């Protein structure tokens, strides 16, 4: 190898013994700088922060190129320059591969956080996001929406397999029953809510009744994916948006309250939330409680 003379100001030579040495010198230097900068930049942008595997790989790339650069200066060796830069670039490429895999994992986790694992429906968080968006639209357009809360009857008495398969079947059945503009979501351990846009409570009854019939029919074994050991029925509580509704969560709570009242009456089917009726019932319950006390 031909040595490249260095001045006291750094690496730029004034006398060149071979053009190849000059080219090799600057190519090695360029690769070293590129690998080091790529390593530092990749570590900063890596998902999961500097503790992620990709960030650590990028950091090794920057360290290797820096060490190779320093040793190359000390020994006037383009081979060491090239070795350090090459190893650095290999680690950068490895970091890119690891980072892409980490990105896929992050996307999968984010997706699972918004989708219920068992039913495949939007989970409670995503459902309420969509409900808030519809609530804002309803306020602007002076339209109406309703919430229907579905619950499999005698859910607590079912086996674990029937609970899981029953929830999957309910999700599938409702997906086939609702309109494209409506939204499904699992809002509890055993409840599925449907956001029915531009629909009054009275209009929701018809669609919910058909959905209940479809679910029962499919649970009787007329669906290859049912996998339940007994016919299942479902009850529905319905509540509608009105002008006094401030928080859309209250509409869901009212639908669940109608469902609870239905079960308290030892009945199944469909019940619509009526504020006056529920207030009277609450007053009667309080009066009865005071008498017993």
Q: What is the pLDDT of residues 167-180, one digit of tens each?
A: 999 999 999 888 88
Q: How many residues make up the chain in this entry?
A: 293
Q: What are the pLDDT digits (tens) for 71-109?
A: 666 666 666 666 666 666 666 666 666 666 655 555 555
* CA 185/CA 129 separation, integer angstroms: 11
pLDDT at 114: 80
Provide the 8-state DSSP code for 156: G
Q: What is the mean pLDDT of residues 261-286?
A: 80
State the DSSP H helix or E strand holding residue 165, giving kind and residue range, or none if neither.
Answer: helix 160-177
Apex 203 CA angle, 202 and 208, nearest 5: 100
Largest CA distance in the chain: 110
Q: What proportion of the chain, given as a percentage, has pLDDT over 90?
A: 22
pLDDT at 86: 65
Q: Are 241 and 135 spatial neighbours (Cβ–Cβ below 8 Å)? A: yes
Q: What are the pLDDT digits (tens) for 29-51?
A: 665 566 556 655 655 554 445 55
Q: Where are the beta strands (DSSP E) in the chain?
A: 145-152, 183-186, 191-197, 234-240, 270-272
- Indicate whether this model's pTM tops 0.95: no
CA torsion through residues 57, 59, 60, 64, sign: positive
Query: 151 pLDDT exceeds 90?
Result: yes
Q: What are the pLDDT digits (tens) for 49-72?
A: 555 565 566 566 666 666 666 666
* CA 110/CA 148 separation, integer angstroms: 27
pLDDT at 284: 75
What is the pairing mode between strands 270-272 and 183-186? unpaired
Q: What are the pLDDT digits (tens) for 230-272?
A: 889 999 999 998 867 778 899 999 999 999 888 888 778 999 9
Q: What are the pLDDT digits (tens) for 197-233?
A: 988 888 899 999 999 999 999 888 765 666 788 889 9
């Amino acid at each position: 190898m031909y040595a490249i003379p260095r001045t006291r100001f750094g690496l730029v030579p004034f006398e060149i013994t071979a053009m190849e040495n000059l080219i090799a010198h600057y190519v090695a230097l360029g690769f070293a700088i590129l690998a080091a900068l790529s390593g530092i930049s990749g570590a900063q942008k890596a998902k999961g922060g500097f503790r992620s595997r990709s960030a650590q790989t990028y950091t090794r790339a920057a360290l290797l190129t820096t060490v190779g650069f320093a040793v190359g200066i000390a020994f006037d060796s383009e081979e060491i320059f090239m070795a350090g830069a090459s190893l650095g670039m290999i680690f950068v490429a490895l970091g890119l591969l690891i980072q892409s895999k980490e990105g896929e994992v992050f996307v999968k986790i984010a997706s699972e956080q918004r989708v219920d694992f068992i039913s495949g429906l939007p989970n409670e968080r995503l459902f309420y996001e969509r409900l808030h968006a519809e609530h804002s639209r309803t306020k602007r357009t002076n339209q109406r929406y309703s919430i229907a809360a579905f619950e499999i009857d005698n859910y607590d008495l079912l086996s674990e397999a029937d609970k899981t398969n029953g929830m999957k079947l309910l999700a599938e059945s409702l997906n086939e029953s609702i309109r494209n503009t409506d939204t499904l979501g699992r809002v509890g351990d055993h409840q599925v809510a449907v956001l029915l846009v531009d629909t009054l409570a009275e209009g929701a009854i018809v669609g919910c009744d058909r959905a209940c019939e479809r679910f029962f029919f499919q649970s009787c074994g007329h669906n290859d994916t049912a996998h339940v050991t007994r016919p299942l029925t479902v009850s529905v509580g319905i509540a509608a948006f009105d002008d006094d509704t401030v928080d859309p969560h209250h509409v869901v709570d009212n639908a669940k309250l109608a469902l609870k009242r239905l079960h308290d009456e030892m009945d199944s089917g469909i019940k619509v939330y009526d504020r006056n009726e529920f207030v009277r019932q609450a007053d009667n319950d309080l009066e009865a409680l005071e008498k017993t006390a």
